[in-house]
Chains A and B, each alone.
Chain A
Amino acid sequence: MPAPTCFSCHKARAALRRPRSGQALCGPCFCAAFEAEVLRTVLAGHLLPQGAVVAVGASGGKDSTVLAHVLRELAPRLGITLHLVAVDEGIGGYRDAALEAVRSQAARWELPLTIVAYEDLFGGWTMDAVARSTAGSGRSRSCCTFCGVLRRRALEEGARLVGATHIVTGHNADDMAETVLMNFLRGDAGRLARGGVLGSTGEGCALPRCRPLQFASQKEVVLYAHFRHLRYFSEECVYAPEAFRGHARDLLKLLEAARPSAVLDLVHSAERLALAPAAKPPPPGTCSRCGALASNKLCQACALLDGLNRGLPRLAIGKGRRVLQVEPPPLGNPSRVTSDPVALPEPCTCKQSKDESNPCGNGGDRAGATCVSKSDLSPVAE
């Protein structure tokens, strides 16, 4: 059976069916529609005002690659300036490859790129060093958690460094859907209360952050990359995922198969959840060390680093939310730690915490990094 004609231009042969609507489109029309929808999100949500200097959290993965590409297309219309900011978590050797991908993207698209490293920002702590220090504590799974906290901070620092006024990250609709499922499964009412928003306006001294791809499904992100011939790394983190995220991801796949709109339906649910005031976090104050938004004396990143420096990472991150006694800042006394990937715990299947920016890390030698995998693409309609 020959492919149907494109529903939009009525000229070209359709090359795909949009996963949600089933609409048959040619490649160029699909990409135009995808870009128009991101534009719509940015405009409707008043996410990026004219003149904004936008730091794009770039990891070399598909979400941030697509985000950077789409925003570059839209930049003239939006009147914004883009700056790629990549974070080097310091994960044994592999990260170089991912960063190389970001470098070549930046060169091809003629976008400025700044790379910030955990090691430089956090007093010598690389992610590998963090992993080693937490290994054996029975909490090696927390690596992703640590990583998410630190990456958020690193991106913030990088963005400031380049004079950005806004930060954008590549989270898509699937990420939010997965997160709301997961937060119910693990009973995290606080996160449910805070979740479901497109971005934060930048409370405290933090830069405003947003997620222009929040209503785009993962499938369409992959399709866009395919039709725009974007190269990216499908990365898998070497560190074990958070307990329920894997389950939530499996569930989401099933739901989407049963009802194509399920991902956005979950996003709608997340937007509308109303929790009792008690479940909401207390009004945040500021971190006594760095001035960032914090519900305790120290923000999460400072508390984590503080704990690491004192050899007590669990103290910093546990649910108990014990308020740490602040000691004189140990920062600025970098104790270099050499990375040792062999000591890493179980391989990871997650692309992780997604909380801010990209997959938590990357996929080490074991997981392997590959370019666009065909298997990710939805079959082209006939």
Chain B
Amino acid sequence: MCQAGEDYAGPAQREPPPVPRPSREQKCVKCAEGLPVVVIRAGDAFCRDCFKAFYVHKFRAMLGKNRVIFPGEKVLLSWSGGPSSSSMVWQVLEGLSQDSAKRLRFVPGVIYVDEGAACGQSLEDRVKTLAEVKRILGNTGFPFHVVALEEVFSLPPSVLRRASQEPAGTEEAYKAAVDSFLQQQHVLGTEACASPAQGQGQLRPSHSQEPSGTVGHPKDAQTEALSRLFKSIKTLTAKEELLQTLRTHLTVHVARSHGYRKVMTGESCTRLAIKLMTNLAMGRGAFLAWDTGFSDERHGDVVLVRPMRDHTLKEVAFYNRLFGVPSVFTPAIDTKAPEKASIHRLMEAFILKLQTLFPSTVSTVYRTSEKLVKAPREGCATGPSGPNCLLCMCALDVDNADSATAFGAQSSSHLSQMLTAEAGTPTRPCCGAGEGQTQSCHRAVGRREDAWACIIEQLCYSCRVNMKDLPSLDPLPPYVLTEAQLRSQRGSVSEEIQEYLIEEEEEEDRAEPCEAMKQEAEDKGIGL
């Protein structure tokens, strides 16, 4: 773009050394008394107590400002064992032990997803890690769910559907919830879900027909299937993405089964800046506000929330060290990989390096991300009326194949040629935008390359790019394949009867347009 009028963000002010050599005269900038132990930004030296107050305040302020966590609500803390999410669990723990005025008023539980099988961890190491995980979680006193990623092989297809949610989130609803909380809190307090992983309780019967994912060890066959799936993926980038996708599905499922309305994840501001740039580079421009914003409502009834988004990694590291917050090291999927092996890795390295040159890098990216909105761009073909991506569940952001866009440019030439080249047979577009093609797809379901095309067409731009790195979609967990088939059947059935249907005027609730339209889209099978 034209660069006129730009200004440079980068006066090369060097980052201050992490811990100041506390000169005798220097005092805490807050209380002007305490010995500074932490320097956050240039010149801001905090003593231990003031740093703690600052850190806790940020967490509380983030929740207070956004007001999405209702009093008495069950909140599932997604804990990876890493520093940020550990710090988050700790914040909640401390928040609940406060005196009544400052006390956090939600009911927490913790989920830990054991990804050992996807990351190539040995069974022995997994057992060791899990012992440590359970020890730490046991000490929190919170109910917890330790779930193996293998459980995705028992997920129901419904996890991929956006569940409706009664209108909430308004100021009145919030106040009403506060009132009812004050009356009910004792009841809720005793009803808090016990932890099956600890063997302290049973699942409530209403949940038992769905695989709960919280019981027992993964079956060997599932462990094998999971590692086969991940080994088959050609790039580390796509592996990382699929891992995140499956983890989210599993977490949302556990949340639903146990009545949690919110899931908190511990991404720091540094992590979110990296994620934003990573997702940008993976073609997720349309979804950045969902992927990195404070709250993420794409699943409908279960809302993901990111309360640590104001904390930098550095602050987290200081806090955890100063206050002895326990964390567990687990190998990540890319732990042994070289820096340039995936978009995630290289973006992380790039941003962290740039941050040392320009200390404002992370905050600049973060602030810019806050100006993004959760709506399709003006004039973009896809509105909320379209179906959602089978995998990431965002509204499909693909254009017509004949449009003058990056998508159109690829679908007209490279994609079709590549399909042909890889499948070895001429492939016609399947259930595409074109009229009359759905039929051929319907007939051909079951034929491998057509099934492949049917799934691809239910994906957003970015998920399509990722799935190209899977030589075969067969090893995907059954719930994904089943839901894909259900959707495409719904699509073709409704196409067959479309002309006989009398359309009703849209009289849907305006407050929830996405939900209404989505339902409508499902009914009509638009674009499936």
Contacts and interface: CB of A to CB of B under 8 A. Distances in A.
Interface in A355-373: 355-356
A312 B83 CA distance: 50
Interface residues of B, number: 64
Given A145-B6, A244-B9, A300-B2, A271 B285 contact: yes
Contacts of A198: 404
Given A20-B410, A145-B5, A189-B371, 20 more contacts: A18-B414, A22-B418, A44-B402, A44-B404, A148-B3, A180-B280, A183-B368, A185-B365, A198-B404, A251-B346, A259-B237, A259-B282, A264-B283, A265-B282, A265-B462, A269-B280, A271-B285, A272-B286, A274-B380, A317-B4
A273 interface: yes
B289 interface: yes
Contacts of A321: 5
B373 A276 contact: yes
Contacts of B3: 144-145, 148, 242, 353, 355
Contact of A145 (B4, B371, B410, B414): B4
B462 A254 contact: no
10 smallest CB-CB distances across A and B, nearest first, come from A269-B285, A45-B404, A319-B7, A265-B283, A272-B286, A215-B409, A355-B2, A44-B404, A187-B364, A268-B406
Interface stretch (B19-27, B59-67, B126-134, B337-345): B337-345
B408 interface: yes
B98 interface: no
B235 interface: yes
A37 interface: yes
Given A145-B4, A148-B4, A271 B340 contact: no
Contact of A21 (B276, B277, B281, B414): B414
Contact of B376 (A152, A186, A269, A274): A274
Contact of A242 (B6, B377, B402, B406): B6
B29 interface: no
15 contacts: A23-B414, A41-B404, A181-B280, A184-B276, A187-B364, A192-B368, A194-B1, A258-B340, A265-B461, A270-B285, A273-B288, A273-B377, A274-B289, A304-B4, A353-B2
A103 to B, nearest CB: 28
A257 B380 CA distance: 30
B367 interface: yes
Interface in A1-51: 7, 18, 20-23, 33, 36-37, 40-41, 44-47
Nearest to B466: A259
Contacts of B414: 18, 20-21, 23
B350 interface: yes
B459 to A, nearest CB: 13
A44 B403 CA distance: 6
A272 B295 CA distance: 20
A89 to B, nearest CB: 15
Interface string B401-445: 011111111101110011001000000000000000000000000
Interface in A266-295: 266-276, 278-279
B361 interface: yes
A254 B285 contact: no
Nearest to B379: A197
Q: How large is the interface on A (under 10, 10 to 19, 20 to 34, 35 or more residues)?
A: 35 or more
A59 to B, nearest CB: 16
B4 A215 contact: no
A183 B1 contact: yes
Interface of A: 7, 18, 20-23, 33, 36-37, 40-41, 44-47, 141, 144-146, 148-149, 152, 173, 179-181, 183-189, 191-192, 194-196, 198, 215, 242-244, 247, 251, 254-255, 257-259, 261-262, 264-276, 278-279, 300, 304, 317-319, 321, 353, 355-356
Contacts of A191: 1-2
B372 A356 contact: no
B354 interface: yes
